[in-house]
């Protein structure tokens, strides 16, 4: 799993689905963390036109030049449709977010099966902020808890 995480975080162009211009969300925090660590970021939101001064895109196919990976930070019922967008857009990597604090997960069994069927490299669970240096204290604790309880994706 660590090789998949390292590969994902080594990609220059990453999109985050689950951005909100109306309220602070885990997707917003992930977008900002990855942007601060040097990634070229793209926000996906069907309702927002901009996020942090950058354009939002209604879907993956609207992003000029495509992306190398997508972090999905939505409800599981939306994840399958986003993975279908990844397939159509030729996105080779997907990270389905999971959080201990917010008690939510974007992981959908149907979406996981689609990723496997279409040979998309998948991280099903965890949070990029647990792995993107420098990792803050809270996310180091969450990573430790997920490892200790066996909830870290493998």
Assess if residue 154 is contained within a domain. Answer: no
- Residue 7 confidence (pLDDT) above 70: yes
| Domain hosting residue 67, numbered range | 2-149
Q: Token pair of 75, please?
A: 């409800």
Q: Say which residues have a Cβ less than 8 Å from residue 27's Cβ, sequence separation at least 6.
A: 16, 17, 18, 19, 20, 71, 73, 74, 97
- Does residue 8 lie within any of the structural domains? yes
Nearest to 89 by CA among 8, 4, 15: 15
Would residue 128 count as lying in a domain?
yes
CATH number, domain of 96, equals 3.40.50.720
- Predicted TM-score of the model (pTM): 0.89
In the structure, what pLDDT confidence band is assigned to residue 154 with cuts at 50, 70 and 90?
low
Average pLDDT, the chain: 89
Is 57 inside any structural domain?
yes
Residue 103's pLDDT is what?
57
Q: How many domains does the chain have?
A: 1
Residue-wise pLDDT for 74-120, tens only, equals 988 999 999 999 999 999 999 998 876 655 788 899 999 999 999 99
Residue 98 lies in a domain: yes
The answer to the question of residue 10 being in a domain is: yes
- pLDDT of residue 15 exceeding 90, the answer is yes
User: For 19-33, what is the mean pLDDT?
Assistant: 90
- Is the residue at 145 inside a domain? yes
Radius of gyration of the chain (CA): 14
Estimate to the nearest angstrom the gap between the alpha carbon of 107 and the chain centroid.
11
Greatest mean pLDDT range, 74-83, 132-141, 142-151? 74-83
pLDDT band at 137 (very low <50, low <70, confident <90, very high): confident
What's the pLDDT score for residue 2?
A: 84
Per-position b or e across 24-41, b if 16+ CB within 10 A of its CB: ebbbbbbbebbbeeebeb
């Amino acid at each position: 799993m660590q090789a998949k995480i390292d590969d994902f975080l080594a990609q220059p162009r990453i999109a985050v689905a689950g951005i909100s211009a109306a309220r602070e969300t885990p997707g917003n925090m992930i977008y900002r963390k990855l942007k601060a660590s040097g990634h070229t970021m793209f926000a996906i939101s069907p309702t927002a036109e901009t996020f942090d001064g950058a354009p939002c895109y209604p879907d993956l196919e609207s992003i000029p030049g495509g992306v190398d990976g997508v972090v999905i930070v939505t409800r599981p019922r939306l994840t399958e449709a986003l993975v279908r967008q990844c397939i159509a857009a030729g996105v080779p990597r997907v990270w389905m977010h999971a959080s201990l604090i917010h008690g939510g997960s974007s992981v959908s069994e149907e979406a996981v099966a689609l990723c496997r069927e279409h040979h998309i490299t998948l991280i099903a669970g965890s949070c990029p902020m647990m792995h993107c240096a420098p990792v803050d204290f809270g996310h180091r604790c969450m990573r430790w808890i997920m490892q200790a309880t066996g909830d870290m994706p493998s």
